[in-house]
Structure 1
Amino acid sequence: MPAFVDRARIFIRSGKGGDGHVSFRREKFVANGGPDGGDGGNGGNVIVCVDPGVNTLSDFHFGGKYKAENGEDGGKRRCHGKQGSDIIIKVPEGTVIKEAASGKVIVDMSGNTKEFVILKGGKGGNGNMHYATSTMQAPRYAQPGQPAKELEVILELKMIADVGLVGFPNVGKSTFLSKVSNAKPKVANYHFTTLTPMLGVVSLNDARGFVVADIPGLIEGASDGAGLGHEFLRHIERTRVMIHVVDAAGTEGRDPFEDIEAINNELAKYNADITKRLQVIAANKIDMLPDGENSEIIAKLKEKYEPLGVKVFPTSTLTGKGINELLYYISRELDKLPEDTIVFESEYDPETELKEENLAFTVEYDSDAKEYVIEGPKIEKMLGYTNLDSEKGFAFFQNFLVENGILDQLEELGIQDGDTVRMYGNSFDYYKNADTATGGNMIAEDEDNFDDFDNMEDEDEFNE
């Protein structure tokens, strides 16, 4: 039987957009054919979807890389590149996906969220057929495809259950679950806690049923990482009612009062909101008490906790005493609570966060070529959408360098008048100009390197 896995770390990557193509129509009897370079295909998306037939993250136990397909480059004769195939990652319902570095929630695959595009593929670049104008009949430029997006994420399974069973090891939680539901946990007199959370469905003849989760036994310090308890606290977060199962007979030498307080302290340290939810106490193993449900320990539990709104039910999983009363009470209380599944709100939007990262650039000095080199997706995008042949476009280019602090960085590196600056195959001469608002000017060394985009009218088009 495969191991139960409820946490995993994986690497995901969307597909890169295909590059646009540069080509020109070549046909017999057709002189000077126009540009006919096709567009690149869009890269594939990374999609997460809920698989109702899966209840563990064991498929991701060893991590792995999940990559969508890149889009194909465009071709001649206006042929568009093929779109990259999406990659679909199937997870159990209740899986919360977090950005690994920050731990922030990207999406909770619960409630109405059954499918989610976590990373969009890069858009394919336009072929040169899009860039012909009245003044530039033969553009030798095609737009590069947008880069892929990549991310390391953590998958956490938080079980979806109405009721959670909590308690120290060997107090009878697994036996309780097997008696009240269709779950079949392994039950034995072990001093070690159950290692696998179990779900069971409780069916009642004349009342609403509900789902119960047996949370592996907690120990003091679990919220701080002690033992195995902290690994399973996440499964309590969605429950609306909690049942404290305690050994009222003290057969293992435990004090039920101390156990309840210790568990509540661990829950509060993990997530204070959990302790505000409805709690019920199942004072178990009353068959081993001399006076049964009338024993002094039961009276003391009721005296302390029922004034706090915590109902105490004397129970015996051996004889079945008190179990029905407990189940019907919980059913009635659930009817009073909101039906909606607790869903964790998104805190991290990959589309926004990674867009900022992809727009980064570097400014460095190449001592071998004796040139200053500026690179990065933001620079490449700017060069692709700016008409450097026009006065207006080149002024926009100059302002871009100033507003992004590039000229300041060049001066910090010691650039002098006449030095060469290279950006993706395009070279410029730098000249300091204190009389202009820019504080510095770039002059293209070879204007033939740039295509004419007279339809680039303003910054909004640049940003599209």
Structure 2
Amino acid sequence: MKFIDEAIIQVVAGKGGDGAASFRREKFIPKGGPSGGDGGHGGSIYAIADRNINTLVDYRFARLHRAKKGENGRGSDCYGKGADDIVLRMPVGTVITNAATGEAVADLERHEQKVLLAKGGAGGLGNLHFKSSTNRAPRQFTFGEPGEELELKLELKVLADVGLLGMPNAGKSTLIRAVSAARPKVADYPFTTMHPNLGMVRVDQNRSFVMADIPGLIEGAAEGAGLGHRFLKHLTRTRLLLHIVDMAPLDENIDPVREAKAIVKELGKYDESLYQKPRWLVLNKVDLLPENEREKICKKFIRSLGWKGKSFTISALSGEGCKALTYAIMEHLEQESGIGNEEQIT
């Protein structure tokens, strides 16, 4: 199924039914008084988060969602029936905004979270409500209120603990294949990854985290170059970023240090909060470097980049260093959540 992470839909809640103006006319009761019932309420439209859905493709093709209107009131004190509500099931991680104003409507962060998108109109009042000691034969009634009508933008931001970023062909997809059951496409040409991939990385029996792989970034991505800029938003919910660097590019004219600096620059241009996230440096494809010079080359790269944070050397293809990396990630996430500290206290 094609991955769709954005859609625009129109939601139209149902109009409330009109109230009725009616009087009782039965045998032996010539002046029975008002008996007009109220109209039913219009149907509302709700969104509910569903962890079993992972794309917004359904809303790319079904853009209009209209609830039914409530029934009109009738005589003999009969109230109109309220219309059924409409429930739209969306992936967990969907952000809903008003397309016209940009105002946030909802952020579906957890399974089965339910939010109101458009409220149905209230039913009108029948003349039964206007009866009083001075107005014994009221002919007033009210019409049902219109339902809310909105154009909404749906934007899916995947929920993952760890996000991978780097230039095309840096080995991000190979890494997620090596440490999880995810099977993204891997090939020896750029932009193999066309949409985000999620993988569950299981460290121990009861310890795991979710890793997200997005299409590779290139210089100018924040302004729209390449594919990665469309998917940078998927990294905003992550707790840790892994900057994957290809240490053995096929093209000898490619400078890994320059490319690594370009990626960091694009992050800052796109979103300052994303730039400030914890970020580790992962030097990939070290198995292609001369074994006796491997350590020297990696240290020189880190020094040239001016990197002061955590760094790892791995080969995603052979699996070298991947286990140590996943255990370090798990420990970091547990410490961030306070799990490790709680275990020490107990």
Query: What is the TM-score of this pair, normalised by structure 2?
Result: 0.92
The answer to whether the Cα contact below 8 Å between 2:178 and 2:317 also exists between their aligned partners in 1 is: no
Q: Is 2:224 the counterpart of 1:225?
A: yes
Equivalent in the alignment of 2:285: 285
Q: What does residue range 128-139 of structure 1 map to in structure 2 within 5 Å? A: 128-139=127-138
Find the aligned partners of 1:185 and 1:263 in 2 and give their Cα distance: 22
TM superposition shift of 1:277: 1.3
CA positional deviation for 1:300: 2.2
- Percent identity for Structure 1 against Structure 2: 46
Q: Which has the higher contact order (CA 8 A, sep 6+)?
A: 2
1:322-352 superposed Cα distances (whole Å, 9 cap, x missing partner): 111111111111112248xxxxxxxxxxxxx
Specify the alignment match of 2:40 in structure 1. 41
Question: Is residue 314 of structure 1 aligned with residue 306 of structure 2?
Answer: no
| C-alpha separation in 2, matches of 1:69 and 1:283 | 58
Residue 95 (structure 2) aligns with: 96
Is 2:158 the counterpart of 1:159? yes
What does 1:199-210 align with in structure 2 at a 5 Å threshold? 199-205=198-204, 208-210=207-209
Residue 86, structure 1, aligned to residue 77, structure 2: no
**Do residues 326 (structure 1) and 325 (structure 2) align?**
yes
**AA aligned opposite 1:118:** L
Residue 185 of structure 2 corresponds to residue 186 of structure 1 = yes
1:250 deviation in Å? 2.4
Structure 2 CA distance for aligned equivalents of residues 178 and 292 of structure 1? 28
For structure 2, list consecutive stretches of 5 or more residues without a partner in the other structure.
339-346
User: Match of 2:327, SS?
Assistant: helix
Give yes or no for contact 1:207–1:328 (8 Å, CA) kept in 2.
no
Listed as ranges, the gaps of 5+ residues in structure 1 are 340-464
Corresponding position of 1:243: 242
1:271 and 1:331, CA in 2 relative to 1: closer, same or farther beyond 3 A? same
Q: Secondary structure at the match of 2:219?
A: coil
Give the whole-Å Cα distance in 1 for the aligned partners of 2:211 and 2:172. 11
For the residue of structure 1 that corresponds to 2:243, the secondary structure is strand
How far apart are 1:307 and its partner, in Å?
Answer: 5.8
3-state DSSP class of the match of 2:178?
A: helix
- 1:121 is paired with a residue whose SS is coil
Partner of 2:122: 123
- Using the TM superposition, give the Cα deviation of residue 312 of structure 1 relative to its aligned residue in structure 2, in angstroms: 1.3
User: How many residue pairs were aligned?
Assistant: 337
After TM superposition, list the pairs within 5 Å mapping 1:48-447 onto structure 2. Answer: 48-111=47-110, 114-205=113-204, 208-253=207-252, 254-291=254-291, 294-303=294-303, 308=308, 310-338=309-337
Equivalent residue, structure 1, for 2:13:
14
Runs of 4+ in 1 over 6 A off after TM superposition: none
In structure 1, give the amino acid aligned to 2:261.
E
Q: Which amino acid aligns with 1:233?
A: L
Q: Over the residues paired in the alignment, what is the CA RMSD in angstroms? A: 1.8
Q: Which amino acid aligns with 1:251?
A: L
The 1-side partners of 2:76 and 2:167 are apart by 72
Contact 2:51/2:111 (<8 A) preserved: no
User: How many Å apart are 1:293 and its aligned residue?
Assistant: 7.2
- Quote the Cα distance in structure 2 between the aligned partners of 1:302 and 1:249: 15
Q: Secondary structure at the match of 1:233?
A: helix
Structure 1 position 303, deviation (Å): 3.2
Q: Does structure 1 conserve the Cα–Cα contact (< 8 Å) formed by 2:39 and 2:124?
A: yes
Q: 1:188 deviation in Å?
A: 1.1
- Contact persistence 1:38–1:75 (CA under 8 A): yes
1:276 is aligned with what amino acid? Answer: Q
